[in-house]
C-alpha cells in the first residue's frame, strides 16, 4: 500500500506512475485520497484541541471548588460536558474518515520503477535477453499433452474424476520427476544462502491483505467459507507474512527464505488451446524464494534473484528469455517484475515459468514490517520469485527433449529421479 506522506509530497510522481499502469480515474482517486487526508488531519487537530481544553477545564473545576466558587465550578462542569460530547463526535468522525481513506488507498497499485516500459499489455513487455538455442524436433514430435498419455505419466481424466478439471494425477516417472525438480530447486536455493521454511498452505484474511492478494484477487483464490481461510496462490503469501508486525534487527538483514508448497488458483474464465495440458492448472507445485532487504539494496537483490532463476534454467538445458514487464502488464503490488519464459518446441511458443518482483515498501506498509536502519525506523523492501513453478518446466522438458526413442531427462535431474529416460 502506498504511504500517505509519499502521496502528499510526490503527487505528480504518483500520478505519472498510475498513468503508466493505465490505472483508471487516477487523478480523481488521488484527489479523493488527499481530500480525505486533509479532512482527517483537520479533524485530528480539532480533536486534540478539544481534548486539551477539556483537560484544562477539568483542572479548573478542582481549583474553583477548593476556592469555594461553586457557581463558576458548575459552569466549568457544563463546559466540560459539552467538550466531551464534541470530542466523542469528532472521534467517531475521525474513525470514519480513516476507514474511508483506507478503502480508497487499497485500490491504488504500486508505483512502477522508472525502468518499467510503457505499454498496456504483454505485447509491450521488453525482452531483456534470450539464452540458448531452440531445439529442432524429429518428425512426428508431439505436444506434452499427447506425450503424457503416450508414456502414461500424468492422468488428467483421473484428476477430473477425483477433483475436477485442472487437477492432474502424476504417476510413476511423472510423479518421480516432480519430486526430483522440487528437491533440485530447494537444494539450489540452499546453496545460494536461502533458509528453507515449510509454511501453511491456507492463510487468513490478514495474511492475504498483507501481501496484496486481498482485496485485489478474491476471485482467483479458493475460499474455505466456514473457516474464513484462503488456499494459497503462492508460497509468497505465508512466507512473507511470517514477518507481519515484526521489527527486524538490522543485523538480521537481509532475510532470504525458500519454501516449497502446492499452490491453488481458480483461474476463472480461462479456456482455449493456450491453457491445454500443463499450461494452466488449478493446483500445481512451486518453489518460491522470498527476500526482505534494506531499501538501498533491493534492486541489487532483484538482479541476483533473476540470475538465480536463470541459473536453474541453464542447468535444466532449457532455452529461455527474460522480459521486463510493461506498466500495463505488471502485478498490482509490484514496482518492477522480470518474467522468465522457456521455449516450448512442440507448441512453438514461449511459456512463463517465473516472475521475480520487487515490491519496494508496498507490501511492508501493509505488513507493518520495519527495521531501524542506520538509526532510523523505516519500512523494508520485500521481493519474491518463482524458483521455479513446475508445470510448464515439465511441459518444456518433455517437449524439447523428446526423441523417437523416448524423452531424455536433463542430466542435472538424473541423480534426483534415478532415471535418464522416459520410454
Annotated binding site for ATP: 265-267, 352-355
Q: Which residues does the annotation place in the binding site?
A: 234, 265-267, 288, 352-355, 384
Angle of helix 390-400 versus helix 173-191 axis, rounded to 10: 120
CB atoms within 10 A of CB 163: 13
Place of cell 520485500: 382
Rounded-to-integer distance, Cα 284 and Cα 397, Å: 16
Decide: 8 and 86 in contact? Cβ < 8 Å: no
Rounded-to-integer distance, Cα 138 and Cα 317, Å: 18
CB atoms within 10 A of CB 271: 10
Decide: 4 and 37 in contact? Cβ < 8 Å: yes
Rounded-to-integer distance, Cα 67 and Cα 422, Å: 99
Q: Which residues does the annotation place in the binding site for L-serine?
A: 234, 265, 288, 384
* CB-based burial, 346-372: b 16+ in 10 Å, e otherwise: bbeebbebbbbbbbbbbbbbbbebbbe
Place of cell 527476500: 291
Bridge partners (DSSP) of residue 382 are 292
Amino acid at each position: 500500500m502506498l504511504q500517505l506522506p509519499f502521496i502528499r509530497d510526490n503527487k505528480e510522481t504518483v500520478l505519472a506512475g498510475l498513468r503508466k499502469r493505465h490505472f483508471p480515474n487516477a487523478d480523481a482517486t488521488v484527489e479523493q485520497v488527499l481530500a480525505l487526508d486533509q479532512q482527517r488531519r483537520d479533524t485530528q487537530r480539532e480533536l486534540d484541541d478539544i481534548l486539551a481544553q477539556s483537560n484544562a477545564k477539568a483542572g479548573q473545576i478542582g481549583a474553583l471548588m477548593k476556592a469555594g466558587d461553586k457557581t463558576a465550578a458548575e459552569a466549568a462542569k457544563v463546559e466540560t460536558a459539552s467538550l466531551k460530547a464534541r470530542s466523542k463526535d469528532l472521534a467517531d468522525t475521525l474513525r470514519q474518515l480513516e476507514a474511508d481513506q483506507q478503502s480508497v488507498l487499497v485500490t491504488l497499485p504500486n508505483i512502477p520503477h522508472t525502468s518499467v516500459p510503457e505499454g498496456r499489455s504483454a505485447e509491450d513487455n521488453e525482452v531483456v535477453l534470450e539464452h540458448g538455442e531452440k531445439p529442432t524436433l524429429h518428425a512426428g514430435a508431439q505436444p506434452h499433452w499427447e506425450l503424457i498419455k503416450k508414456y502414461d505419466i500424468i492422468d488428467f481424466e483421473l484428476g477430473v474424476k477425483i477433483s475436477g478439471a485442472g487437477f492432474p494425477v502424476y504417476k510413476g516417472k511423472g510423479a518421480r520427476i516432480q519430486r526430483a525438480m522440487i528437491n533440485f530447486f530447494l537444494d539450489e536455493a540452499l546453496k545460494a544462502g536461502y533458509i528453507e521454511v515449510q509454511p501453511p498452505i491456507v492463510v487468513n484474511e490478514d495474511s492475504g491483505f498483507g501481501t496484496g492478494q486481498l482485496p485485489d484477487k478474491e476471485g482467483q483464490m479458493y475460499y474455505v467459507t466456514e473457516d474464513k481461510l484462503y488456499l494459497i496462490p503462492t508460497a509468497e503469501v505465508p512466507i512473507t507474512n511470517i514477518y507481519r508486525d515484526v521489527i527486524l534487527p538490522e543485523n538480521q538483514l537481509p532475510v532470504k527464505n525458500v519454501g516449497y508448497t502446492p499452490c491453488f488458483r481458480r483461474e476463472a474464465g480461462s479456456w482455449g488451446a493456450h491453457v491445454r495440458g500443463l499450461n494452466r492448472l488449478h493446483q500445481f507445485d512451486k518453489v518460491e524464494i522470498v527476500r526482505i532487504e534494506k531499501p538501498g539494496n533491493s534492486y541489487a537483490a532483484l538482479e541476483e534473484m533473476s540470475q538465480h532463476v536463470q541459473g536453474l534454467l541453464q542447468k535444466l538445458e532449457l532455452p529461455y528469455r527474460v522480459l521486463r514487464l510493461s506498466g500495463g502488464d505488471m502485478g498490482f503490488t509490484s514496482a518492477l517484475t522480470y518474467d522468465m519464459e522457456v521455449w516450448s518446441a512442440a507448441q512453438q511458443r514461449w511459456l512463463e515459468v517465473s516472475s521475480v518482483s520487487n515490491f519496494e515498501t508496498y507490501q511492508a506498509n501493509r505488513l507493518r514490517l520495519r527495521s531501524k536502519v542506520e538509526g532510523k525506523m523505516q519500512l523494508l523492501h520485500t521481493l519474491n520469485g518463482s524458483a521455479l513453478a513446475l508445470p510448464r518446466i515439465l511441459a518444456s522438458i518433455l517437449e524439447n527433449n523428446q526423441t523417437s526413442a523416448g524423452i531424455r531427462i536433463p542430466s542435472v535431474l538424473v541423480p534426483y529421479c534415478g532415471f535418464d529416460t522416459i520410454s
